[in-house]
Structure 1
Amino acid sequence: MKLLLVGANGTIGSAVYKELSHDVEIITASRSNSDVEVDITSPASISRMFEQVGQVDAVASAAGAAHFGFVDEMTPEQNLIAVNSKLLGQIHLILLGLKYIRDKGSITLTTGILMDDPIEKAASAAMANGGIRAFVQSAAIELPRGIRINHVSPSMLEDSIEKYGPLFQGFEPVSSKRVGLAFRKSILGAQTGQSYYVY
């Protein structure tokens, strides 16, 4: 199996790589220091990536940025960070990459706990997460050629406590292993239209 892992250098991407690298051929993609470079906010960059990589059995996205800030201080431009990156960036991976995914392949996107358990400063991130969840549920009933689509929704990872811990007061961090297993289930399993919550 050949897996294209987008956002491979991040915390979640690293967890996915560690979980699956012994079982599948992984092509890493990110803005730098990967097998292929991609900026998911750019449809042209996404198209170039798929042209370079060619046919794959699965695409997993662990990419997507969002602005964290209070709603009453947020500008439309700041909100567009999540729209253009985590929301549209991941959706464009599907729209532009579908023809490169082999029959009965799979797509796995990343959402997050903030759409279900809100915290201050995270409305924009929650919006993107919820949009991806709705898209996955709807797209699952019409993807062609037996291609499956799911999303993984993790809480804050243990590896991210230092960076995000002050925002996630009272949240129990989850292990990278649990997040990696959720991606394994999505990529190597048989389900589609599913939400894999790692809370």
Structure 2
Amino acid sequence: MKIIIVGGHGSIGRRVVDVLAKKHDIITASRSKGNVNVDLVDIESIRELYETVGDFDAVISIAGEAKWAPMNEMKEGDYYVGIRSKLMGQVNLVRVGMEYIKPNGSFTLTTGILADYPVDQTTSAAMVNGGIHSFVRAAALEMRDGIRINAVSSGLVEDAIDKYQDHFPGHNAIPMRKVVNGYIRSLEGKGNGEVIRIYDNQ
């Protein structure tokens, strides 16, 4: 398959690329790295991505940002960082991508454990992740031509433990192979409208 991976150079993205590149044609995209540049907050940039790539079989998005800060310090504009980038950026990858994707293709979006188990200073990130979960479930009802959409929602991943461990007290790190398998399940399986949760926080 010809697969666009947005965010293929991050902690999770590079692992997904390494595994999928063994059997698929991978095109990486990001703001400054990869085969093609894309800015998720700019819908015209997203359209240009698809125009450049041409026909494709799947999109995997492992990108988007949201501001972490105490709620009493958050301004309205701080929430729009996540809304414009991680939420609407991924929504627009699907909306515009529906014009270009081949029949029986798939979209895989990325959220995270904060949608279900928020921690301190994550009112924005948790809100955005939960919004993506709801979008995926609703959008699945309107997919056409055999196209599928899912989200992968992981807990604290091994490769990011040094950066985020203090924010997730008592959470067990998720092995990267398990995280990658979530994306493989979405890409190569038959599920549609699923939130593939990979958690170990009990």
Instruction: Quickly name the TM-score band, shorter chain normalised.
Output: over 0.9
Compute the RMSD of aligned alpha carbons.
0.7
Worse-superposed segment, 120-129 or 8-17: 8-17
Q: CA separation in 2, counterparts of 1:70 and 1:99?
A: 40
Could you tell me the TM-score, scaled by structure 1's length?
0.98
Match of 1:163 in 2: 163
Match of 1:126 in 2: 126
Q: CA separation in 2, counterparts of 1:81 and 1:120?
A: 18
Match of 2:145 in 1: 145
Q: Which runs of 5+ in 2 are unaligned?
A: none
- By how many angstroms is 1:181 displaced? 0.5
- By how many angstroms is 1:160 displaced? 0.4
Runs of 4+ in 1 over 6 A off after TM superposition: none
- By how many angstroms is 1:47 displaced? 0.8
Q: CA separation in 2, counterparts of 1:189 and 1:18?
A: 19
Q: Which string of whole-angstrom CA distances, capped at 9 and with x for unpartnered residues, describes residues 7-54 of structure 1?
A: 111112112112211011100001112100001011011011111001
Aligned length: 199
- By how many angstroms is 1:77 displaced? 1.0
Match of 2:87 in 1: 87
Q: CA separation in 2, counterparts of 1:18 and 1:179?
A: 13
Could you tell me the TM-score, scaled by structure 2's length?
0.97
Q: Which runs of 5+ in 1 are unaligned?
A: none
Q: Secondary structure at the match of 1:140?
A: helix
Q: Which string of whole-angstrom CA distances, capped at 9 and with x for unpartnered residues, describes residues 135-181 of structure 1?
A: 00011011111100000000111110111111111111101111110
Match of 2:50 in 1: 50
Q: Secondary structure at the match of 1:196?
A: strand
Aligned pairs for 1:3-82 within 5 A: 3-82=3-82
